[in-house]
Amino acid sequence: MTAETTTFPTNQSRAENVSSGWSSLYKLSGISALLLVAIVIIQLIVFTIAPPPLDGTAIDWFILFQKNPIIGLIHFEFLMIIYVILCIPIALALYTLLRGVNPSWTAIYLILSLLGVICFIAARPAFEMLHLSHEYAAAETEMQKAAFLAAGEAKVATFHGTAFYINYILGSLTGLIISMVMLKTTLFSKATAYIRIASSICDFGLFVPTIGMFIAIFSMLFLVIWNIMIARRLFQLANAS
């Protein structure tokens, strides 16, 4: 056991006792956290090499999908669907670890995290877009092409739609909630909590005109650091239990 976990206030020691049967979950979550880092790096590299047509129309996306389906899927954030699914064991692990510290807020954190995951999956119709791009390429008349473009525009609107923004806001909100709970325990370092808070605050940069995207990139950077810290700690806890 590391020095970080040797002393606990009353409710925190209970949190650790409760968590003793969860080592598999902690290992899985640690691996998931590292995979999240890998996904972000892959996404970042692909974004830099071949920037996506984020403000483009359906036809821009169809051309991209036809040119390179893998790049098309990555740009339509298929990997991010895997990302949010990998977040589920992490949320569950943090819930089991921290519920003894503050059951109310950790339970709300878990529910809102799950809601965010479902919203994000609904907001990323990557394979539908790939299918439509094939249909568009095979279309013979202008009328047929127009129909597939319309369907594609609906998918692009969904990509930028309500479910995405709700997921984004919930992601920031749940980050703040779990960080506040983390600050009340020695189970995680204060730095871990503050890094997540910084990430959540920077998330809202997206809504700032012009420089918003740059602020949001900082959020991603903090999140990568946080995931590494979380992975390390979860592996330690898995070994300890």
Binding residues for another protein, rule: CB under 8 A, are 10-11, 14, 57-58, 100-105, 107-108, 111-112, 114-115, 118-119, 122-123, 142, 146-147, 149-154, 156-158, 160-166, 170
Query: How many CA within 13 A on the CB side of residue 70?
Result: 3
Choice between 42 and 107, CB closer to another protein: 107
Q: Are 213 and 206 in contact (CB under 8 A)?
A: yes
**Smallest separation (angstroms) from another protein to the CB of 56:** 10
Cα separation, 204 vs 74, whole angstroms: 24
**Smallest separation (angstroms) from another protein to the CB of 161:** 4
Choice between 101 and 238, CB closer to another protein: 101
**Smallest separation (angstroms) from another protein to the CB of 142:** 8
**Smallest separation (angstroms) from another protein to the CB of 166:** 5
Query: What are the structure tokens assigned to 22, written together?
Result: 């969860």
Choice between 40 and 170, CB closer to another protein: 170
Cα separation, 218 vs 216, whole angstroms: 5
Choice between 30 and 152, CB closer to another protein: 152
**Smallest separation (angstroms) from another protein to the CB of 69:** 22
Choice between 42 and 118, CB closer to another protein: 118
H or E element, residue 127? helix 126-138
Choice between 98 and 216, CB closer to another protein: 98
Cα separation, 77 vs 93, whole angstroms: 25
| Residue 6 dihedral angles phi and psi, to the nearest 5° | -70, -35
Cα separation, 104 vs 124, whole angstroms: 31
DSSP per-residue string spanning 1-54? --GGGS---HHHHHHHHHGGG-HHHHHHHHHHHHHHHHHHHHHHHHHHHS---T
**Smallest separation (angstroms) from another protein to the CB of 170:** 8
Report CA Rg, the chain: 20
